[in-house]
């Protein structure tokens, strides 16, 4: 075994630091635990059709069952308890009542339990020599899943998933001071790959090495970071609400609306992040207007307007359509707020009475972030619905482009008739 790999696998987590000279730490690819590692192992032939992350989960358990393993020191260093909400007690989960996070936790648990049942019936039971019953249990499977999912980050995720000793010790902080950067190493005739933990600014001695787990490859709320990684930055919390919208197949204009979305790079089911004290994005409002488009406004879906349809959705279409958009959001936000057992005011008071960073503290921050977002969004649409008469709709914009209305909305052809020209 290469000396560099040996030293990494016996690495003491307490000694993690960036190079004082170049503010980087480089981990060669031969020290990564990858799908190729699994493929070269005795279980490789049995799991080659599974997702990459799942292959690595099963490999961890397989190596754990061996008396001697090249990965033994690394696996031994992994915490036996992973602090994901997936492992919270029922009492602790009760603190998440009404939140999107609780729904996600329940969905994760159901998925992983179902996946284990499938694997046990279709794979483990048929190849017990490779998957011993006392090692491949539901509890151990959940531990492996949580361990892998909480230690993988972009760019080594998805189709290129890998566990990287040393690099996976980096902690989560919003706007962290480092990032993972893939790098090609070696000379002209000896090339290879490495993962570099690269500082984004000068890192002082004793400063914690951190990166933002919720920044890449796409923005994540605190609740999503907590769900996947079991952590959150309680000092710079970023609460919010993930709004998921679907184009109903029962919509009379389903095909036309789906075509408009597809031609503009949008899916029929899309999610939008809402944040407290931030206005909903123009893309979200456009999506809502398209979903609620009906009646006389549906002429914008005709082939003649198809290429411009999405552009029209980014501004108010008609008073009827805009009112439907606002009303749907008002009703949705209020229904979500009614699902919590505590109010935002009660949560703010509770925060000062629980230990910072505790599970209860994190749960309160999550649900408070959702409530503050919903209340802020509720106020936004409530204010907008009161000002509907002040908005400019499609027909007015069209007449202005034709020069038939001035900027104040007055007709430019009144004098045409008054002077008897017509």
Q: Cite the active site residues.
A: 216
**Other CB atoms closer than 10 Å to residue 258's CB: what's the count?**
17
Whole-angstrom Cα distance, residue 91 to residue 414?
Answer: 71
Assign residue 40 a region: left if phi > 0, alpha if psi is -120 to 50, beta otherwise? alpha
Q: Is 272 helix (H, G, I), strand (E, B) or coil?
A: strand
Are 365 and 351 a contacting pair, CB within 8 Å? yes
Q: Is 162 helix (H, G, I), strand (E, B) or coil?
A: strand
Are 297 and 320 a contacting pair, CB within 8 Å? yes
Element of type H or E holding 319 = helix 319-337
Within its chain, how far is the Cα of 120 from the centroid? 30
**Other CB atoms closer than 10 Å to residue 82's CB: what's the count?**
20
Angle at 23 between CA 17 and CA 28, to 5 degrees: 75
Nearest to 221 by CA among 236, 210, 208, 200: 236
Whole-angstrom Cα distance, residue 104 to residue 111?
Answer: 10
Structure token digits, residue 208: 């914690």
Structure token digits, residue 363: 């749960």
What DSSP string describes 219-262?
A: ---HHHHHHHHS---TTS----EEEEEE--TTSTTHHHHHHHHH
Residue with tokens 């949560």: 347
């Amino acid at each position: 075994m290469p000396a560099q790999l040996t030293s990494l696998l016996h690495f003491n987590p307490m000694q993690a630091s960036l190079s004082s000279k170049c503010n980087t730490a480089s981990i060669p690819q031969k020290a990564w635990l990858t799908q190729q590692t699994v493929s070269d192992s005795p279980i490789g032939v049995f799991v080659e059709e599974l997702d990459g992350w799942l292959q690595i989960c099963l490999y961890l358990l397989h190596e754990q069952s061996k008396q001697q393993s090249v990965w033994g020191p690394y696996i031994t260093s992994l915490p036996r308890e992973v602090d994901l909400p997936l492992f919270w007690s029922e009492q602790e989960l009760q603190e998440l009542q009404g939140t999107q996070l609780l729904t996600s936790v329940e969905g994760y648990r159901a998925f992983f339990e179902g996946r284990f049942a499938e694997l046990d019936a279709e794979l483990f039971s048929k190849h017990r020599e490779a998957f011993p019953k006392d090692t491949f249990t539901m509890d151990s499977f959940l531990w492996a899943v949580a361990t892998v999912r909480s230690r993988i980050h972009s760019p080594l995720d998805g189709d290129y998933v890998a566990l990287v000793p040393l690099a996976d010790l980096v902690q989560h902080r919003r706007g962290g001071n480092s990032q993972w950067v893939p790098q090609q190493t070696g000379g002209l005739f000896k090339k290879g790959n490495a993962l570099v933990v690269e500082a984004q600014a000068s890192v002082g001695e004793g400063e914690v090495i951190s990166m933002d787990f919720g920044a890449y490859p796409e923005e994540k709320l605190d609740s999503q970071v907590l769900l996947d990684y079991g952590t959150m930055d309680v000092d710079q919390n970023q609460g919010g609400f993930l709004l998921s919208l679907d184009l109903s197949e029962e919509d009379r204009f389903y095909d036309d609306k789906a075509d408009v979305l597809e031609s503009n790079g949008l899916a029929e089911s899309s999610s939008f992040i809402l944040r407290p004290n931030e206005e909903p994005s123009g893309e979200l409002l456009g999506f809502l207007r398209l979903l609620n488009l009906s009646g006389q406004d549906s002429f914008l879906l005709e082939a003649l307007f198809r290429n411009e349809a999405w552009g029209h959705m980014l501004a108010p279409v008609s008073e009827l359509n805009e009112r439907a958009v606002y009303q749907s959001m008002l009703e949705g936000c209020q229904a979500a707020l009614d699902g919590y057992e505590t109010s935002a005011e009660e949560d703010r008071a509770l925060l000062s009475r629980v230990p910072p960073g505790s599970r209860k503290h994190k749960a309160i921050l999550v649900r408070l972030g959702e409530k503050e977002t919903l209340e802020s969004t509720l106020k936004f649409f409530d204010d907008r619905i009161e000002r509907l008469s002040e908005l400019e709709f499609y027909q007015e914009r069209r007449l202005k482009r034709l020069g038939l209305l001035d900027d104040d909305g007055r007709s430019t052809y009144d004098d045409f008739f008054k002077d008897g020209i017509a």
